[in-house]
Chains A and B, each alone.
Chain A
Amino acid sequence: MLIASIAAISLFALAAPLAHGAWRRGAGPLLALGVGSVFARLAWVAPDVTAGAVTLERFAWAPQLGLEVALRLDGLALLMSLLITGVGAVVLLFASASLRDHPALGRFYATLLAFMASMLGLVLADNALLAFVFWELTSITSYLLIGLDHHRAEARKAATQALLTTGAGGLALLAGLVTLCEAAGTYQLSELVTRAEVLDHPALTPAIALILAGCFTKSAQFPFWAWLPGAMEAPTAVSAYLHSSTMVKAGVYLIARLSPLLSGVALWDSSLVVVGAATALGAAFVGSRQTYFKRVLAYSTVSSLGTMVMLLGLGAGGATAAAVFLLAHALYKGALFLVAGVVDHATHVKDSERLGALWRSLPITATAAALAGLSMAGVPGLLGFAGKELWVKESLHALQGGWTPWLIGAVAGAGALNAAMAAQVALRPFWLAAPSSAGAHAPAKDPAHAHGPAWPLWIGPALMALAGLIGGVSPGLFAAPVALAAADAIAGLSPGAPGAADVPLDVGHLVKPGPALYLSLGAVAAGLAVFALRRAYRAATRPASALDPLGPQSAYAAAYSGVLGTAQAITRVTQNGSLHFYLRVTLGFVSVVGWGTLWRAWAGASEPIPRTPVGPIEAALVAGTAVSVAAMVLLRTRLAVIAALGAAGYCVASLFAVYGAPDLAMTQFAVETLSVVLLVLVLYHLPRFPVFRLTAARVVDAAIALSVGALMSGLVLLAAGVQLAEPVSAYFSQNASALANGRNVVNVIIVDFRALDTLGEITVLAIAALGVLALLDVRAERPGPRASAPGQPADAHPNPAHAPADGALAGRAPTIGGPA
């Protein structure tokens, strides 16, 4: 059934563009109906699940990695999947009307349904890696949804910010999950949360930090919340669905999922409470100063997410409160977003201060807004009240547990400001008089909308607001069982077990005189006061905007430009296009690594370096080699350099002769001569060496060259001390006459012992000679330097010193067999 649900929605996603092409108007309701049937299927089994039945389905995927398609339906998954499919069906219906004329509606349906399938997969997944796969899929589909209107630059920017933030968080999450699961030895989440021995594992702390980083970015906690208000660039249907009811709750969901294991770990609990409380208060403060519908709702969503995170850090009681709050929030915030969409659709005004008295033209929407707003403010009789009441109660409870009183301040402040925001979006535009200022909009005069919006637009907010009302008035009908089953799952208990949550949610039980009630009613009153005095409040808090440069959006911008800046700096320094620079770095690295290894390896050890007596001839030859090499470096004409190179080679060859290797010496003489001739032929036409570099640069070059040279010389000396085997020369001199009947040992070696070598050498030389002949031939055909040498290579070289050399190479190359 679970896999079938995901598969069904994926199938809808695939079919959506076709359906849209075939039926146009009818496609949206049809798809909504399909999603609704999945919702109904899940609701059908809900009584069993709330009674404690757990459905488990497993299919193989990549068992070598511990990845399998394991799906599990328990109380928490049930709550989330009902929200995903229920709100999803309503949102699809809404979108079919609100985006009726959007050019990419078919693509929108497909992406939204793909998102829905991923989200459903995420909450049903019982395998950590599978959950991660779906987690990333929700990021990608959300990216596409935010960027739906991709002709707008802000939409593209917001989409990128959302994806970068949640994507980076996702990677952290992956690392954290792998660490945790490897420590526990299982990737099955339901199994993992029972492995209490992990709590002593040294990798626990980094794992927690990484997992929380992932969850906090996804659920827009401080300081990562900046992407969520930006994501409101998406169509309202997307905001209502992804950015209030479902996707942003993924982080909260995962925290809840891991709670049975990690709740009680000091780092986990305190991070959740501190970050959650800071987010709840901070976002509520920022949001209470906004007037644009969606911005107010966005920040209040962030604030509510903070509340849930904070509650999850408060133990089992907090879990119950979090579950109830999650359900209540999804219902009222989804409704309010859709209401904002209806208002936008009807009036094309996005600023709630510029609207008023909309109840006349939008009566049903206004009623839904009122119900949702009351629920959000936490007025008794609505589900939101239960959520808020439990929240306050748990915070007071935590105070006894040793938490700082600041926590209560944050809770009260966030509650009051949320009530103010509720009034701003649900009260101001609908029930207060229209502002008299010039920008006021009077929708009733607009004949196109005189009859109110189409039914698919208002049915969604109405249904969700109604659900909030029913949940508040008669919680036993659906709200309490579902939320409490979820709370049990968060606490790691099965429903009905001792200690399982059985908090009564009906008003009669909750409205009991006590500090909690006073505090929460006081918060509502304070919120209304803030709303009434909102102009003075906004003016008074204006100095707080001086903190914006320290805020999350600036942090994101700083991180973004920091990465780019660092990258540019690295590029400028390392990638300047000069072969000379590349060689310098590479050789420098070889030298550092070589010397480092030598120094490290020889710390303590000492092996004698063999010494052999040096005669005057040898000394002279070595000196000659050194002088030639020095001359080669210092000389300025190519011919002279080639001559010096040849001289160095001749000195080395003579050294061979002195040490009794005439064959080697002869070969060397021949090779040297040939090289000089070839080099002269090839390099004859190149220009003189200009002096490109400053003295300082030449000093650096010399230092690197000497260092590498010294390293290599040192290695040769060391290697000379290694005697691995009997020298083969003894064998040769003993067997030369016995086996080969020759008295000249060198001759015997060349033509007998190493006959195959000799044959190979001869072949190579012959081929080389043929090549030389061909070169000379080509030159003979084209006498004189060519008139039209190609210009600079296309690559622009910032280093002027480099370009001529490359140009020359590229220019010469065609004569040697290129496409001339």
Chain B
Amino acid sequence: MTTNNSIFGYLKEVVKSAKYLAQGFSVTFDHMKRRPITVQYPYEKLIPSERYRGRIHYEFDKCIACEVCVRVCPINLPVVDWVMNKKSKKKELRNYSIDFGVCIFCGNCVEYCPTNCLSHTEEYELSTFDRHQLNFDNVALGRLPTSVTMDPSVYALRELAYLPKGEMDPHDVDKLASREGIDWFTKEK
């Protein structure tokens, strides 16, 4: 009787461990049918979110040289080079520059600019071999970057928060499908 009992107990243990093995492997096999979530960076790029604070864009013609951007900047970074025209009693803007090696992209200047001549772009690939190339003058600040969605060499991917409900893979998502929680076309929640 005792041997019979021990054999039965052993078989019970075998079945139990097989169940745990199957449970563990079910997780593994579940992952096998998924696509890797890796963003293949130079070929695929994530579309930065709509309020992404990238490199600052500046419009020289709109600027009134009020220096509000300098005052709200935590480190007084923007350089506003203006002279007073004594004849017309108006400020004449000569140059404007921001050093992105120092800028912390906080967006205070963009927020407080009274004429909206400052704005954030979605550009973030700014690395240079020379530190002084990071000091952008008004011409460099006025350039617009190539948008990820406009670049033919790049497959643009939506970030996870911009995918439709229940969707995790951005590759095969319908371009017109709205994100979860909002309908982009009727603008209704």
A and B held together in a complex: no
Where the two chains meet, the residues of B that have a C-beta atom closer than 8 Å to any C-beta of A are none
Using a CB–CB cutoff of 8 Å, the interface residues on chain A facing chain B are: none
